[in-house]
């Protein structure tokens, strides 16, 4: 598509939780073994009264204050699984808070780890069709609010955060093609079971926490992502060596290491930043993309592959021709 990423910013909350903090709450945990598997040393956790929408506002303002005329934006997509309310749509509140014009379409996308890639596809299609001219894709999640402090599977991995990415039209094809997929049979492998219509939360019951089958999600990733990448290469008529940088969803070190091994990827071409950011769910790819840009891992004209995968179960991949 003749669409480009014009600018990209992110925001992490102020509360910092390192491995020593986790060990204080859980002295029986083998933090050395956990950190070897996750690769994560630091997580950023939203405050008690700080929501994903609050983080989205922060990230959005960082972008708007640095790069564009707010009146030019006529499309807003908020990717989140941590909405402030069941209704109204959080994107509607975000439109008003950011001061976007009223003739701006705004809607939520309820996706996690693949959400940024899906949102790029949606925003790109809308802009290329002429329905909108400039889009703001914001990803924000606060999974920490669903995680018990004793949860050894989820607490060492997930981090809160938000990203804001400005999408606009381009004279050249800079985005796509896309490979997107879903395996809803595995919906229960990463789930918050209580609180919505299927299983309403009772205040007298145990709190509403996330549950993840780490082994199943890991196997899903290794079985799905390589074929997703190969399909994208075939669809693009390129070789894997033509890709200058791979930016995966920052799931964990063990996941990315196994993807590198299974695909025989050049480690120097895989960007990893999860050590100091954690797994920020939908925001992990755009956050990693920004860090890669800031650390000069991306040069003008580079071909970048973005690959998201996880909760749903869902996956998506695309190519970005980088233009400064």
Catalytic pick among 19, 104, 113, 273: 113
Known catalytic membership, residue 228: no
pLDDT of 234-256, one tens digit each?
999 999 999 999 999 999 999 99
Known catalytic membership, residue 185: no
CB 39 within 8 A of CB 255: no
CB 123 within 8 A of CB 239: no
Can you tell me whether residue 136 is helix, strand or coil?
Answer: strand
Catalytic pick among 8, 19, 273, 279: 279
Q: First-to-last CA distance in the chain?
A: 17
Residues of the chain with pLDDT > 70: what percent?
Answer: 98
Q: Where are the beta strands (DSSP E) in 126-258?
A: 134-141, 161-169, 175-182, 190-192, 210-212, 245-248
All domains in the chain, ordered by first residue:
3-173 (3.40.47.10), 176-321 (3.40.47.10)
Catalytic pick among 19, 104, 154, 249: 249
CB 312 within 8 A of CB 114: yes
Angle between helices 90-98 and 52-67 (to 10 degrees): 40
Tens-binned pLDDT, residue by residue, of the chain (324 aa): 899 999 999 999 999 999 999 999 999 999 999 999 999 999 999 999 999 999 999 999 999 998 778 899 999 999 999 999 999 999 999 999 999 999 999 999 999 999 999 999 999 999 999 999 999 999 999 999 999 999 999 999 999 999 999 999 988 889 999 999 999 999 999 988 877 778 776 654 556 788 888 899 999 999 999 999 999 999 999 999 999 999 999 999 999 999 999 999 999 999 999 999 999 999 999 999 999 999 999 999 999 999 999 999 999 999 999 987
pLDDT of 125-184, one tens digit each?
999 999 999 999 999 999 999 999 999 999 999 999 999 999 999 888 899 999 999 999
Neighbours of 286 (CB within 10 A): 29
Alpha carbons 184 and 220: distance in angstroms, whole number: 12
Alpha carbons 75 and 293: distance in angstroms, whole number: 25
Helix (H) or strand (E) holding 105, with range, is strand 105-109
Can you tell me whether residue 195 is helix, strand or coil?
Answer: coil
């Amino acid at each position: 598509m003749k669409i480009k990423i014009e600018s990209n910013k992110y925001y992490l909350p102020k509360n910092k939780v390192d491995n020593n903090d986790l060990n204080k709450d859980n002295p029986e945990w083998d933090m050395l073994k956990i950190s070897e598997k996750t690769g994560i040393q630091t997580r950023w956790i939203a405050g008690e009264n700080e929501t994903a929408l609050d983080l989205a506002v922060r990230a959005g303002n960082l972008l708007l204050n640095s790069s564009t005329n707010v009146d030019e934006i006529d499309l807003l997509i908020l990717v989140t699984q941590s909405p402030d309310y069941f209704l109204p749509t959080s994107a509607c509140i975000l439109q008003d808070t950011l001061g976007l014009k009223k003739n701006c379409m705004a809607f939520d996308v309820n996706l996690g780890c693949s959400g940024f890639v899906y949102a790029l596809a949606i925003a790109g299609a809308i802009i290329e069709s002429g329905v909108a001219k400039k889009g703001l894709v914001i990803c924000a999640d606060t999974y920490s609010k669903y995680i018990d402090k004793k949860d050894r599977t989820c607490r060492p991995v997930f981090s809160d955060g938000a990203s804001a990415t400005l999408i606009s039209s381009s004279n050249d094809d800079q985005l796509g093609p896309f490979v997107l997929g879903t395996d809803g049979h595995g919906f229960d492998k990463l789930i918050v079971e209580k609180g919505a219509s299927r299983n309403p939360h009772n205040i007298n019951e145990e709190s509403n926490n996330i549950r993840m089958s780490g082994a199943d999600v890991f196997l899903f990733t290794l079985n799905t992502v390589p074929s997703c990448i190969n399909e994208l290469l075939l669809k693009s008529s390129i070789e894997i060596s033509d890709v200058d940088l791979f930016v995966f969803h920052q799931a964990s070190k063990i996941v990315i290491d196994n993807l590198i091994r299974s695909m025989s990827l050049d480690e120097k071409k895989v960007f990893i930043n999860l050590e100091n950011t954690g797994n920020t769910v939908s925001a992990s790819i755009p956050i990693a993309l920004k860090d890669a840009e800031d650390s000069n891992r991306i040069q003008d004209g580079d071909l970048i592959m973005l690959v998201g995968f996880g909760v749903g179960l869902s996956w998506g991949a695309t190519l970005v021709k980088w233009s400064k």
